């Protein structure tokens, strides 16, 4: 027969007295992994910092090299212009996909099918060599006079071709992001908006989109960061973006790694800035929602260091 302590003994057991009164469990795994990471990571950084082959002086001197600066500026311009085009064209394609008009729906389907189905490089070259297909772009009334005509090459230069290629290609992916975001909003929201007599356009703008933005922004942030680096493919049509400029320099001085470090430095600066913008936007559109989150810098830096945030209580 097992021994059962009497009531007095149970009542005499030590009691909890707030958070400080308990010996917490030891996380030996965390300590072990921290030591391992410090050893391996620290060793690698030490090697990098002290290696004679890693010419940090070259990296440092090239950081603000005029060619690097102009390459960086071009990369930023390309990213901003292409993403602007992607966001606009993606919104158009996305809304067309969800339209009640079957013509718009199928046009959108085919355009997305083509833009996602062919390589980006091909699309870039297509826009670049458009002049060989249509030397002049003109606005003509069918069977009537030509209103104006313009030399294709003067309208679409290298930069224009790059923006069209990158932007429209990304727009096809953005269209799906918009569509998923809109479909993720509860159908009851649409019904409630209809029941107060809102038109489709108004309920989209006032009710559905503000809620869909919470689902649209994170993948759009991803797409923008991805675009920042994808812009380096414009090398193919002869535009010196950040990475190309760096490559041109190390082709002359053979300091590949130090100069690639320069490129990485600037890419990281840009993505960090984008991440901050993204978390600001996410906070803006999380109005009225209890669970806030997203990829903010603090959670990036120390997911293990901080205790898990308790979700805010609902006020009754």
Partner 1 sequence: MTVQPSFEAGTTLAPMVVARGVEKSFGAVRVLRGIDLDVMPGQVVCLIGPSGSGKTTFLRCINLLEKIDRGLLAVDGRHIGYRVGRDGRLCEMTEREICRQRRDIGMVFQRFNLFPHMTALENVIEGPVGVLGENRREATARARELLKRVGLEHKADSFPAELSGGQQQRVAIARALAMRPKLILFDEPTSALDPELVGEVLDVMRTLAHSGMTMVIVTHEIAFARDIADLVVFMDEGQVVESGPPAEVLANPRQERTRKFLLSVRGEDGHAR
Query: 287-308 as b/e, with b when 16 or more CB fall inside 10 Å?
Result: eeeeeeebebeeeeeeeeeeee
Binding of residue 237 to partner 1 (CB under 8 A): no
* Nearest distance from C-beta of residue 53 to partner 1, angstroms: 56
Q: Can residue 102 be called a binding residue for partner 1 (CB under 8 A)?
A: no
Residue 301 in contact with partner 1, rule: CB under 8 A: no
- One residue of 14, 117, 145, 288 binding partner 1 per CB under 8 A: 288
Could you tell me how many residues of this chain bind partner 1 (CB under 8 A)?
26
Which residue, 86 or 185, is less far from partner 1 as judged by CB? 185
Q: Which of 63, 198, 248, 257 binds partner 1 (CB under 8 A)?
A: 198
| 314 lies in the site for partner 1, by CB under 8 A | yes
Q: Does 24 sit near partner 1 (CB under 8 A)?
A: no
Q: Which stretch binds partner 1 (CB under 8 A): 68-76, 194-202, 270-278, 293-301?
A: 194-202
> What is the contact mask toward partner 1 in residues 266 to 285, using x (rule: CB under 8 A)?
-------------------x
Please report whether residue 101 would count as binding partner 1 according to CB under 8 A.
no
By CB under 8 A, is residue 289 in contact with partner 1? yes
Q: Is 188 in the site for partner 1 (CB under 8 A)?
A: yes
The answer to whether residue 204 forms part of the interface with partner 1 (CB under 8 A) is no
How far is Cα 222 from Cα 230, in angstroms, rounded to an integer?
12
**CA–CA distance, 263 with 244 (Å, rounded to integer):** 9
Does 153 interact with partner 1 (rule: CB under 8 A)?
no
Let me know if 31 is exposed, middle or buried by CB neighbors in 10 A (0-12, 13-18, 19+): exposed
Q: Establish if 206 lies at the interface with partner 1 (CB under 8 A).
A: yes
Binding range to partner 1, per CB under 8 A, among 26-34, 203-211, 246-254, 294-302: 203-211
Q: Closest separation between CB of residue 223 and partner 1, Å? A: 24
Phi, psi (degrees; rounded to nearest 5) at 180: -60, -40
Q: Which residues of this protein are in contact with partner 1, per CB under 8 A? A: 186, 188-189, 191-200, 202, 206-207, 210-211, 285, 287-290, 314-316
């Amino acid at each position: 027969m097992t021994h059962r302590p009497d009531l007095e003994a149970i009542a005499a057991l030590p009691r909890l007295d707030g958070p400080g009164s308990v010996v917490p469990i030891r996380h030996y795994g965390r300590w072990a992994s921290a030591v391992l990471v410090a050893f391996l990571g620290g060793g690698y950084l030490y090697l990098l910092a002290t290696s004679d082959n890693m010419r940090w002086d070259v990296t440092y001197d090239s950081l603000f090299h005029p060619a690097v600066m102009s390459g960086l500026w071009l990369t930023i311009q390309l990213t901003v212009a292409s993403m602007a085009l992607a966001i606009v064209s993606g919104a158009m394609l996305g809304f067309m996909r969800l339209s009640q008009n079957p013509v718009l729906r199928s046009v959108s389907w085919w355009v997305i099918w083509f833009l996602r189905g062919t390589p980006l490089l091909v699309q870039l070259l297509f826009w670049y060599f458009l002049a060989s297909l249509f030397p002049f772009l003109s606005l003509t009334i069918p069977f009537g006079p030509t209103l104006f005509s313009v030399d294709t090459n003067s309208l679409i230069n290298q930069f224009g071709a790059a923006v069209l290629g990158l932007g429209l290609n990304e727009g096809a992916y953005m269209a799906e992001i918009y569509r998923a975001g809109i479909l993720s909003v509860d159908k009851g929201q649409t019904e409630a908006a209809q029941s107060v007599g809102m038109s489709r356009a108004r309920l989209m703008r006032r009710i559905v989109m503000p809620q869909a933005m919470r689902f649209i922004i994170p993948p759009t942030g991803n797409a923008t960061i991805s675009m920042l680096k994808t812009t380096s493919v414009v090398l193919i049509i002869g535009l010196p973006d950040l990475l190309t400029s760096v490559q041109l320099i190390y082709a002359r001085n053979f300091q590949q790694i130090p100069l690639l470090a320069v490129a990485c430095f600037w890419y990281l600066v840009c993505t960090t800035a984008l991440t901050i913008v993204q978390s600001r936007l996410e906070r803006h559109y999380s109005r009225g929602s209890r669970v806030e989150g997203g990829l903010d810098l603090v959670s990036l830096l120390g997911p293990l260091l901080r205790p898990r945030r308790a979700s805010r209580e609902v006020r009754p």
